[in-house]
């Protein structure tokens, strides 16, 4: 409520209530219409490669089910932030969402391992784990919190970007207020590397940059572009401190109402979308980097060794956690 006017807050509450009522009506009428509809909300714009991946899932599910099971997508944060959509899943108001693994770590602690700086050597190492036993374990870990993972989408590597100061080493982060996602791992990452972590909602960041509330932020290239942050920040530093995937999640209330056949249709559709989404991501990054150069953004490629060394305490701390250590060890062994 702190950042919403009363009118906007009331409108959002009304929207949530309407979605909840409509969702219940859809499920109750599905036997007559011979069709079930899963409401899927996320916060990204329709131009984003992750949204394009979701549309592939939507198309595949309609085809796989012969029209018996469909997805209706609500993009652009129409139904709230990542945290809010996860809460809507938990109470059964909507069926599905797409969130960053870092946002999900606030609900299912095992996802914290995916936010450890420099845990993954490269994209190949990342998806070897996400599409193997580690990934299946993580997707299932949210079930006790009413959030079942369906699949992982590529969200590239996250790097810092700043308004007025180039960053060539962790020492250059000293004194910089950098926006991070609102989860403890992201806060610890920025603080450990020497910056002053400033958690805030992504939708508030553009204005915060303009008004010098923060000096920069960290994200992947497509989000840097789709948010128009390149208009304010002219340095993008490829330190690539984390490779945090996006996660497609379904509320267990809806999952448990699906038949085994319907679950199979959804899982198969998700797998089809993952392959296409990776392709969309690569194409988007190439296009975005070309545009950013034309807009005068300076790309900086620092030596990663000092960043890796300074961020080590984060992994060492999590290795002391009895539930997380086996997952981290398995990832490192792959």
Bigger pLDDT: 322 or 19? 322
**Residue 93 CB neighbours (<10 A):** 24
Instruction: Please state the rounded mean pLDDT for residues 27-54.
Output: 81
Q: How far apart are CA 272 and CA 306, in angstroms?
A: 39
Give the rounded percent of residues in the chain with a pLDDT score beyond 90. Answer: 87
Radius of gyration of the chain (CA): 20
Measured distance CA(35)–CA(218) in Å, rounded:
42
CB count in 10 Å sphere of residue 270:
23
User: Of 209, 216, 200, 130, which is closest to residue 166 (Cα–Cα)?
Assistant: 216
What value does the mean pLDDT take over residues 258-270? 98
What fold is seen in the domain 158-243+287-333? D-Maltodextrin-Binding Protein; domain 2 (3.40.190)
**170 closest CA partner among 212, 211, 118:** 118
DSSP-assigned beta bridge partners for residue 180: 199
Region of poorest pLDDT, from 13-17, 162-166, 301-305, 323-327: 13-17
108-123 pLDDT, tens digit per residue, is 999 999 999 999 999 9
Q: Give ranges for CATH 3.40.190.170 in the chain.
A: 6-154+245-285, 158-243+287-333
Position 27 confidence tier, pLDDT thresholds 50, 70, 90: very low
Token representation of residue 112: 């914290």
**What integer is the mean pLDDT of 305-316?**
96
Q: What is the pLDDT of residues 46-86, one digit of tens each?
A: 999 999 999 999 999 999 999 999 999 999 999 999 999 99
Q: What is the DSSP code string of 209-277? A: HHTTS-SEEEE-HHHHHHTTGGGT--EEEEEEEE---EEEEEEHHHHTTS-HHHHHHHHHHHHHHHHHH
Q: Are 194 and 231 in contact (CB under 8 A)?
A: no
Given this model, what pLDDT does residue 31 score? Answer: 41
CATH number of 6-154+245-285: 3.40.190.170
Residues 162 and 235: beta-carbon distance below 8 Å: yes
226-262 tens-digit pLDDT: 999 999 999 999 999 999 999 999 999 999 999 999 9
User: Between the CA of residue 91 and those of 1, 43, 50, what are the distances in Å?
Assistant: 19, 19, 25
149-164 average pLDDT score: 97
3-state helix, strand, coil in the chain (%, to 5): 55, 15, 30
Grade residue 26 by pLDDT with cuts at 50, 70 and 90.
very low
Bridge partners, 41 (sequence order): 74, 97
Give the tokens for residue 16: 């949530």
100 has a pLDDT exceeding 70: yes
Signed CA dihedral, 213, 216, 217, 219: sign only:
positive
271 has a pLDDT exceeding 80: yes
Q: What is the C-alpha separation between 204 and 214, in angstroms, rounded?
A: 11
- Rounded to whole angstroms, how far apart are CA atoms 23 and 19? 6
Q: Which residues, at least 6 apart from 12, have a Cβ–Cβ distance to it below 8 Å?
A: 4, 80
């Amino acid at each position: 409520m702190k950042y919403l006017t009363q009118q906007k807050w009331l409108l959002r509450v009304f929207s949530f209530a309407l979605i909840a009522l409509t969702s219940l009506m859809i499920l109750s009428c599905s036997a007559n219409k011979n069709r079930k509809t899963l409401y899927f909300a996320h916060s990204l714009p329709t131009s984003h490669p992750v949204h394009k991946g979701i549309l592939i899932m939507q198309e595949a599910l309609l085809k796989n089910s012969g029209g018996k099971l469909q997805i209706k997508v609500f993009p652009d944060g129409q139904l709230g932030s990542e945290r809010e959509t996860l809460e809507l899943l938990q109470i059964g108001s909507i069926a599905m969402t797409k969130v960053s693994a870092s946002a999900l770590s606030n609900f299912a602690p095992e996802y914290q391992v995916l936010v450890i700086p420099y845990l993954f050597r490269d994209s190949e190492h990342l998806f070897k784990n996400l599409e193997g036993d580690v990934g299946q374990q993580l997707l299932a870990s949210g079930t006790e919190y009413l959030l079942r993972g369906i699949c992982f989408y590529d969200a590239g590597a996250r790097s810092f970007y700043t308004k007025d100061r180039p960053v060539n080493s962790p020492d250059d982060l000293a004194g910089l207020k950098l926006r991070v996602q609102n989860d403890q791992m992201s806060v610890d990452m920025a603080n450990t590397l020497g910056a002053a972590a400033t958690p805030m909602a992504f939708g508030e960041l553009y204005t915060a940059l303009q008004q010098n509330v923060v000096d920069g932020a960290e994200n992947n290239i497509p989000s840097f572009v789709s948010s128009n942050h390149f208009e304010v920040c002219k340095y993008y530093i490829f330190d690539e401190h984390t490779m945090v995937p996006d996660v497609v999640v379904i509320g267990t209330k809806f999952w448990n109402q699906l038949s085994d056949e319907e679950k199979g249709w959804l899982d198969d559709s998700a797998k089809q979308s993952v392959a296409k989404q990776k392709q969309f991501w690569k194409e988007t990054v190439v296009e975005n980097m070309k545009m950013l150069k034309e807009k005068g953004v300076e790309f900086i490629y620092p030596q990663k060794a000092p960043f890796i060394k300074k961020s080590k305490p984060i992994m060492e701390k999590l290795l002391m956690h009895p539930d997380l250590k086996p997952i981290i060890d398995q990832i490192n062994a792959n």
